[in-house]
Amino acid sequence: MKSFPELINEANNQINTVSVEELQSIIDDPKLILVDVQSKEAVEESGMIKNAIHANRGFLEFYFDQRADNPFKKIDVKSDSKIIVYCGAGGQGALATKTLADMGFNDVSNLEGGSGAWVEAGNILYA
């Protein structure tokens, strides 16, 4: 059996990451899909990064399944979309990023350090 730290390390070895500085430089890019995968409670308590959508990690596959008849689809992902996933510290984001890559999304990355690193760098979260 694998522990959750082992799963996170495995995911981190297989995915792309972006730094806070990289995200700051593209935060207003219309091709960017910024996804907060934290729980509803965490988002309500802390807020989200500007322009982010909430997609609880537990429903990620349902929200991102691009079938036309998917009643749960949260957003249309275009072939040139850049997806950046984040959570509070990076672990859930890494697992979610791996899931989206496994689903076939090509340009998907995890925000290194999550929203905690975002705030630590002097940025704010929005309610």
- Residue ranges covered by each domain of the chain: 4-120
Q: Give the tens place of pLDDT for each residue, 38-76.
A: 999 999 999 999 999 999 999 999 999 999 999 999 989
Dihedral angle sign, alpha carbons of residues 108, 113, 114, 119: negative
Tokens 């072939």, located at residue: 79
Distances in whole angstroms, Cα of residue 112 to Cα of each of 13, 27, 78, 94, 127: 13, 15, 24, 9, 22
Q: Where are the alpha helices (DSSP H) in the chain?
A: 4-12, 20-26, 40-46, 60-64, 91-102, 114-120
What's the confidence (pLDDT) of residue 31?
A: 95
CATH topology of domain 4-120: Oxidized Rhodanese; domain 1 (3.40.250)
Q: Give the tens place of pLDDT for each residue, 1-41.
A: 999 999 999 999 999 999 999 999 999 999 999 999 999 99
As given in the structure block, the two tokens for residue 120 are 């630590």
Q: Is the pLDDT of residue 125 over 90?
A: yes
Tokens 């905690």, located at residue: 116
As given in the structure block, the two tokens for residue 126 are 């929005």
HSE-up (13 A, CA, CB side) for residue 94: 17
Q: Is the pLDDT of residue 127 over 90?
A: no
